[in-house]
Structure 1
Amino acid sequence: MTMHFHLPYPPSAWDLYEGWGINRRLSGPYKKWRNDAGYFIKAPKLPISAPFSLHIALKRQNKRQDLDNRSKAVLDCLQHYKVIKNDNLCERLTMTWAEDLPAECVVLLQTAEEGLAA
């Protein structure tokens, strides 16, 4: 199974939460992004409960941004909207900057096949 999503530009992992310990909660900007992203996500009838691979391509907004800390928002969002059962099922994650994209963030999710394990 392969699924494509065109999402708004995801927030940094540093911006997902406010507070610490028992006072930790989702940040307002992350809640807004997740709500906005939900308009572009069509979940399957049942969440993917098998290993999967995820490829994320982003339009770079400036040269000072880190690529790697954008994946957490995307994975958590897919779990929130029941596209995937749990983000711990992600067996392969690739990310890239790209210029010619139809959206700020393009996500390709594929259920893992034995041939992908190589």
Structure 2
Amino acid sequence: MIKLHLPYPPSGWDLYNGWGKTRRLSSTYQKWRNDAGYFIKAPHAPIDKPFALHVALRRQNMRQDLDNGSKAILDCLQHYGVIKNDNLYERLTMCWDSDLPAECVIIIQVCEAGLAA
């Protein structure tokens, strides 16, 4: 199990500029990914098995969609070598929690066989 405290992730709508071949990381996402990197200590080897990701966020305003931060988190975990590929996640749970020690708390757990369903 890996537990991380991260800054609040950007919305999926704010990750990239452009489309197709001209698509590139937005400055908002680049800054957040850099900031998140200070809190991430990658394991010796990335998780290369199916895993579950549990995310708790401290709500910043009432108009936010809970699921909009998941893509930024998964891509960041892959970028820093915590997970081998974000296509390995089999379960994602997300919740709002006003009592967190950070804006975003995530727990990554390797799935045991047969528990992904």
Give TM-score, length-normalised by structure 1: 0.96
Distance 1:59 1:38 in 2: 19
Deviation at 1:82, TM superposition (A): 0.4
Distance 2:14 2:68 in 1: 10
Note the C-alpha offset of 1:50.
0.3
Q: Which amino acid aligns with 1:87?
A: D
Report the aligned-residue RMSD.
0.9
1:93 deviates by: 0.2
Distance 2:115 2:56 in 1: 19
Q: Give TM-score, length-normalised by structure 2.
A: 0.97
Q: Spell out, residue by residue over 1:44-97, the C-alpha distance to the aligned partner (whole angstroms, 9 max, x if none).
A: 001100000000000000110001111000000000000000000000000000
Deviant stretches of 4+, over 4 Å:
none
Distance 1:44 1:63 in 2: 35
Runs of 5+ unmatched residues, structure 2: none
Q: CA deviation at 1:115?
A: 5.7
Alignment partner, residue 54 of structure 2: 55
Q: What is the number of residues matched between the two proteins?
A: 117
Uncovered stretches (5+) of structure 1, i.e. residues with no partner? none
Which piece of structure 1 moves more, 108-117 or 35-44?
108-117
* C-alpha deviation, 1:117, in angstroms: 2.8
Q: The residue matched to 1:102 in structure 2 has which SS?
A: coil
